[in-house]
């Protein structure tokens, strides 16, 4: 076994774990040290195993969890912060997250209208439209934006939530917690927060 590649060692380890046909299989960072092709093969294998076994897949690579897992649990500082399917978690954050606006008229005029709205924290021009961040993550600014643009004579062509991935969800959840427990500037003994994910 010592002469085998990292990928082959991972396969041997999985085979040994499956010999007794366990109901639950625990994989801790199984793709660490693998080349891209081996990672793809291992992900396919894990998805296949998930049909007949319960697979607990721990990883710090959130895009990996998104591709492999049916259900995701996000853990920060030893506490569960969110759980559900990747689709459910994305929908939850998109509900009050950033919004993309496209207009078929003067972008500067649209920006002026949007920036004057009470529910909008920022509105910045981007290559594919205007990116809007609401004042609160729980607030959906789309009705307010649509109403204001139509009343302002701006032709609105698209208004939708920006798609988010698990990494953005994790960062948003841990950012909220960091703001709540942020130490005073004078507190020199405070240690920085550390984060971990379980998927």
pLDDT tens string, the chain, 199 residues long: the values are 678 877 778 778 878 888 888 999 998 888 887 888 888 888 898 899 888 889 999 888 888 888 899 999 888 888 888 899 988 887 776 665 788 999 987 899 999 999 999 999 999 998 888 989 888 877 888 999 999 999 999 999 999 888 777 887 787 777 655 555 555 545 444 444 444 444 4
Residues 64 and 38 in one domain: yes
Looking at the structure, tell me whether residues 60 and 29 fall in a common domain.
Answer: yes
User: Could you tell me if 54 and 28 lie in one domain?
Assistant: yes
Residues written for the chain:
199
Same domain, 87 and 141: no
Hey, which bits of 69-155 come out as E strands?
A: 72-76, 79-84, 99-103, 120-126, 129-134
Determine the structural domain holding residue 116 and report its residue range. 97-161
Supply the pTM of this predicted model: 0.55
Query: Does 168 map to a domain?
Result: no
CATH number of the domain that 74 lies in?
3.40.50.300
Give the end of a domain, one of 91, 122, 137: 91
Token look-up 């910045």 returns: 124
């Amino acid at each position: 076994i010592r002469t085998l590649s990292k990928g082959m060692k991972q396969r041997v380890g999985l085979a040994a774990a499956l010999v007794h046909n366990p109901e639950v299989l625990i994989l801790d960072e199984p793709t660490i040290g693998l080349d891209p092709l081996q990672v793809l093969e291992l992900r396919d294998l894990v998805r296949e195993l998930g049909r007949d076994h319960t697979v607990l897949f721990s990883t710090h690579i959130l895009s990996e969890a998104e591709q492999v897992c049916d259900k995701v649990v996000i853990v920060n500082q030893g506490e569960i912060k969110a759980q559900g399917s990747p689709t459910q978690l994305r929908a939850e954050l998109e509900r009050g997250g950033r919004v993309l606006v496209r207009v078929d008229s003067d972008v500067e005029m649209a920006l002026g209208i949007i920036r004057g709205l009470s529910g909008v924290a920022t509105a910045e021009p981007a290559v594919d439209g205007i990116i809007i961040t609401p004042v609160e993550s729980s607030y959906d600014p789309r009705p307010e934006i649509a109403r204001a643009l139509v009343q302002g004579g701006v032709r609105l062509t698209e208004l939708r939530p920006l798609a988010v991935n698990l990494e953005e969800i994790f960062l948003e959840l841990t950012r909220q917690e960091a703001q709540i427990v942020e130490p005073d500037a004078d507190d020199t003994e405070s240690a920085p927060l550390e984060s971990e994910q379980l998927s």
